[in-house]
Structure 1
Amino acid sequence: MSNNPLIAGIQQVGIGVQNVPEAWTWYRKVLGFDVPVFDEKAEAPLMTPYTGGIVQKRQAALVLNMAGGGGLEIWSFTSRVSQPLSFKMELGDLGINAIRFKAPDIHKAYAHIKANSQEPIGPLLKLPEGEGFWGQDPYGNIFQVTGDSTWFQKTSHPVGGVAGVVVGVSDMDKSIAFYEDLLGGLETVYDLSGVFDDLPTTIAGQHYRRVLLRKSFTPYGAFSKLLGNTQIELLQALDRSPKKLFKNRFWGDCGYIHLCFDALDMNTLKTELQGKGYPFTVDSESSFGMESAAGRFAYLEDPDGTLIELVETHKVPILKKIGWFMDIQKRKHQKPLPDWMIKTMSFSRVKD
């Protein structure tokens, strides 16, 4: 890898839903994602490799939790009905199984979600590292809430942003190599095999190999302080052949559609990843506008076809109300933006 990090952290995880405003209301009230970066309706012409060869229309909203962590891109087709999964997902199925949200105080987060969501929530558990709990959103998507050491600021909300994801894989060693090549400098927090009581699986006695990889925060990249640590938990089901979550469905259909990283130097990243056998399947090549934000985006696939998005941010709204945008490309360095500047994005917070 290059001397400097090429990825700052998880920018967002895409969630395919059938109704963006309704889903955002839940994620805003229950999990604190109340600051919009963009919310727009448009066509997705570059994504035809994953949308049946046809240009589809969509609505997408990128929303942040200002305590720190990655955001969510809440996404829906508008030219067709977003298709749900035709079977019940089991942990270890191929794709993004769950988002890991972080909380400064697990017990407060647990009480808040229990009080504000009608959806099932599991018990507080001792995890292989720390403690946490599992829950689900109104659309059947599983999530986990855990502790974390990286925070941008204190907010009044008891839950923070995206700390990581749980990804189902078919060949653990191949997947570890992929994420190491992609992110570089990963710490293996644990590598365990067996039956795990904390995993919400309906298959009794299911054996897994689970590996937690962590990329620790480094102050390099405009938004690195907001994004914090990156955690990728890989989960391989050892007793069965896992199903592919997006087989015979489009990118953008219901569920976790992609894992998006904040890329700092797309040209170098592309050269390095292609040299290691991971070609870009989509590349906007130049800046692509999303309402008042813009950047170059690309996609590649992990060894099981799970979609990884890379976004090199070029323009971002700092204070939408007065039309103040930050042109990242004009900066001559990759130092983090000043805290006060990122905090002004909170002025566009949506209050319920």
Structure 2
Amino acid sequence: MEYVISGIQQVGIGVRDAEEAWTWYRKHFGFDVPIFKDAARASLMTRYTSGIAETRYAILAMNLQGGGGFEIWQYTSKEPVAASAKHVLGDTGIFAVKLKSNNVEQSYQSLKSKGAHVLGKPEKSPDGRMHFFVEDPYGNLFEITEGHSWFKRGTFPNGGVSGVVIGVSDMEKALPLYKNILGHQSVCYDSTQKFSDLENLEGGKDTFRRVLLKVSGPCRGAFGNLLGSTEIELVETKERKPAKIYESRNWGDLGFIHVCFDIRGMKLLAKKCTEVGNAFTVDSSNSFDMGKAAGHFSYIEDPDQTLIEFVETHKLPIIEKLGLFLNIKNRAPEKPLPNWMLGMLSLNRVKD
């Protein structure tokens, strides 16, 4: 047996006001289906919160056209800390979140018409796909990129999270984790040069090594059809020593706090991570309860201490108002949930 990674479940986004941020993400990115809203104390995360069990409020929201969600995360026990300086491409950590689009030009025009801060015009990435970058009101950067993996088409030109852009200090040290543990074995490009499609970003005119990794083969697991194919782009600057995006700040402070993968087989994953010298730094051991959702979560760090979360979902609300929940704890790891069942999540959609 082996563990199964279904895809990116969500990216954690630290904000000052979760409800306000979610309103913006609904209107601009179509993340209008709440999977849960939960207020609790993050007692297991003290390793990353200066030894203090902080309280927080979180909303997990998704765009049901396909892709991962946003875990919109707000401290309720303290004021979140912003970075002391603007992030520069190549700084270590999650620099941008990729959202897939079925029509990049339409996504570009839609965001511009809504007054979003769009950086430059759509251009081709090294693999020939069109893409562009947009910044939310809180300084977080998103890359809208051509995507071909969809669950259910809707009215928004973009879907959910399809990947992340992560700054690394040493590409050769970073690659084994992303390829061998996370299973992104397919190298779409590996190029070192100056890139015209990055010039509108902070520091984007420097020389970089860019490596785009993807999962080869079909999506697997209960939520594979919904989460779809994922990609990880690693970026190493060749002209300076990178800063750390979360230097002197805690998990949960403002920005992209982690990337989370949906998995089955947590014990098998723990064994693999330990064997390769990248043991879990946080482990809920058995089960967590986030309001109406439950499961098992853990964290590891990449060589630059970027946080990667794993969640094995045990219970998920389908129609919370009717008390309808989905229990998948004992489901066969690779067996996908029926599309009609996942589609019922749309009954929770919030309309503005």
> TM-score normalised to the size of structure 2?
0.97
C-alpha displacement of 1:203: 3.4
2:86 maps to 1:95: no
1:114-193 aligned at under 5 Å gives the runs: 114-129=112-127, 130-184=129-183, 186-193=185-192
The answer (yes or no) to whether the contact 1:38–1:293 under 8 Å persists in 2 is yes
Listed one character per residue, the Cα deviations across residues 244-302 of structure 1 (whole Å, up to 9, x for unaligned) are 01111010000000010001100000001110010101000111011110110000100
**Residue identity in the other structure for 1:144:** E
C-alpha displacement of 1:330: 3.1
The answer (yes or no) to whether the contact 1:217–1:224 under 8 Å persists in 2 is no
Alignment correspondent of 2:250: 250
Alignment correspondent of 2:40: 42
Alignment correspondent of 2:24: 26
Unmatched 5+ stretches in structure 1: none
Q: For residues 6 and 101 of structure 1, what CA distance do their matches in structure 2 show?
A: 23
Q: For residues 297 and 204 of structure 2, what CA distance do their matches in structure 1 show?
A: 41
Q: For residues 290 and 25 of structure 1, what CA distance do their matches in structure 2 show?
A: 21
Unmatched 5+ stretches in structure 2: none
> TM-score normalised to the size of structure 1?
0.97
Alignment correspondent of 1:108: 106
C-alpha displacement of 1:320: 1.5
Alignment correspondent of 1:259: 259
Listed one character per residue, the Cα deviations across residues 14-56 of structure 1 (whole Å, up to 9, x for unaligned) are 0011110000000011000000011111110000000010100
Alignment correspondent of 1:220: 220
The answer (yes or no) to whether the contact 1:64–1:71 under 8 Å persists in 2 is yes
C-alpha displacement of 1:219: 4.1
Q: For residues 174 and 266 of structure 1, what CA distance do their matches in structure 2 show?
A: 24
Return the match for 1:57 from 41, 52, 55: 55
2:103 maps to 1:67: no
2:115 maps to 1:80: no
Q: For residues 293 and 216 of structure 2, what CA distance do their matches in structure 1 show?
A: 27
Alignment correspondent of 2:229: 229
C-alpha displacement of 1:205: 4.0
Which range moves more in the overlay, 66-75 or 194-203?
A: 194-203
Q: Does the residue aligned with 1:99 lie in a helix, a strand or coil?
A: strand
Change (3 A) 1:287 1:5: closer
**Residue identity in the other structure for 1:178:** L
Change (3 A) 1:348 1:205: closer
Aligned length: 350
Change (3 A) 1:278 1:67: same
Alignment correspondent of 1:318: 318
C-alpha RMSD over aligned residues: 1.3
Q: Does the residue aligned with 2:119 lie in a helix, a strand or coil?
A: coil
The answer (yes or no) to whether the contact 1:217–1:228 under 8 Å persists in 2 is no
Q: For residues 333 and 245 of structure 1, what CA distance do their matches in structure 2 show?
A: 35
**Residue identity in the other structure for 2:82:** P
The answer (yes or no) to whether the contact 1:114–1:121 under 8 Å persists in 2 is no
The answer (yes or no) to whether the contact 1:150–1:217 under 8 Å persists in 2 is no
The answer (yes or no) to whether the contact 2:184–2:232 under 8 Å persists in 1 is no
Alignment correspondent of 1:13: 11
C-alpha displacement of 1:333: 4.9
C-alpha displacement of 1:76: 1.0
Alignment correspondent of 2:272: 272
Which range moves more in the overlay, 289-298 or 203-212?
A: 203-212
The answer (yes or no) to whether the contact 1:8–1:223 under 8 Å persists in 2 is yes
Which range moves more in the overlay, 321-330 or 332-341?
A: 332-341
Alignment correspondent of 1:335: 335
C-alpha displacement of 1:109: 1.0
C-alpha displacement of 1:216: 3.6
Q: For residues 220 and 99 of structure 1, what CA distance do their matches in structure 2 show?
A: 22
Listed one character per residue, the Cα deviations across residues 124-178 of structure 1 (whole Å, up to 9, x for unaligned) are 1111121111111001111100111210011111110000000000010111111
The answer (yes or no) to whether the contact 2:18–2:72 under 8 Å persists in 1 is yes
**Residue identity in the other structure for 2:315:** K
Which range moves more in the overlay, 325-334 or 76-85?
A: 325-334
Q: For residues 166 and 100 of structure 2, what CA distance do their matches in structure 1 show?
A: 17
Change (3 A) 1:249 1:65: same
